[in-house]
Amino acid sequence: MRWLPAPEGVLFFAREPGFECVVNLSAEPFVLPEGVRVLLASVPLVGGRVPPDAAVWLVRK
């Protein structure tokens, strides 16, 4: 596992073989990086943003 850059209140990490996870604990939506595909989200995303109190598993395209 390796940590990826993210704003305060957002946990963003990568795991092999190519998965990434975002957990948004902040009060603001987090914009997903380009080049990823959502595999699983705990809530519906709006405009490619992870809302507060939500988690998303991603894979690089």
**Predicted TM-score (pTM) of this structure:** 0.92
Residues near 25 by beta carbon (within 8 Å), at least 6 away in sequence? 9, 10, 11, 52, 53
What DSSP state is assigned to residue 26?
Answer: S
| pLDDT the model gives residue 5 | 97
Query: Cα separation of 36 and 44, whole Å?
Result: 16
User: What CATH number corresponds to the domain at position 38?
Assistant: 2.60.40.1180
For the chain, the domain total comes to: 1
- CA atoms of 14 and 44, how far apart (whole Å): 21
Query: Could you tell me what percent of the chain has a pLDDT over 90?
Result: 95
pLDDT one-digit tens code per residue, 29-55? 999 999 999 999 999 998 999 999 999
Look at residue 53 in the predicted model and tell me its pLDDT: 98
Mean pLDDT of 2-25: 97
pLDDT at 61: 84
35: containing domain: 2-60
Helix, strand or coil for residue 5?
coil
| Phi and psi, residue 55, nearest 5° | -130, 150
